[in-house]
Amino acid sequence: MRIHVMQPVGQYTEAVEDDAADGAAAEVGELGGGLQAGAARDGTKITIGEALEATAFSAGDQPVEPSDAAAIAAAEARASGTDEAPPDGLAARARAAADANALALREEDRATLRDVLADATSRLGADKEVEREDAARVVGAEVRGDPDAAARPGGVAASIATAARLNRGRQ
């Protein structure tokens, strides 16, 4: 038996099939984002801010790490059309959270991705539709910022990559 599960991506929702007969989880997209192409195609494309907010939903309880801050900086720079993120934007907030998390003694004292990204669309100085080049830049930044050279499943890079894939199919 197949069940259709609705998963949010920014303000969009898409159906993902889940094979309930054997309890298998829905097939996840590239980087383990859990969100796949096939969303309702209304012609509207997902922006970088919306994709960052989707991260707050998909990995919101995870503490902010330096690799997340690097990916957020790359995303914010791409959204603003500049080489670097502004010094007082989301990336600065993420870097401060990652630095504080490194010193936090208790798990509950750590800042999460939700804390940093829940209102990303309104905090970005500029925003744009996610394109393949944006995803490549953000994935590269997250991987370079991780000691294991890996992107976090369901994290910033996964959400941006998924948004780029979804946007590719929209006209």
| pTM reported for the whole predicted model | 0.76
At 21, is the pLDDT very low, low, confident or very high (cuts 50, 70, 90)?
Answer: very low
Q: What is the pLDDT of residue 125?
A: 86
Domain parsing of the chain, residue ranges: 46-164
| 23-74 pLDDT, tens digit each | 322 323 444 443 434 444 456 899 999 999 999 998 889 999 999 999 999 9
In the chain, what percentage of residues exceed pLDDT 90? 67
Q: What is the mean pLDDT of residues 75-88?
A: 93
Percentage with pLDDT > 70 across the chain? 74
**pLDDT for the residue numbered 2:** 38
**DSSP result, the chain:** -EEEEEEEETTEEEEEEEETTTTPPPPP-GGG-S--S-B---SPPPBHHHHHHHHHHHSTTSBP-HHHHHHHHHHHHHHHTSSS--TTSHHHHHHHHHHHHHH-SSGGGS-BHHHHHTTHHHH-SS--B--HHHHHHHHHHHHHHSTTS-PPTTSHHHHHHHHHHHHHT--
pLDDT at 169: 80
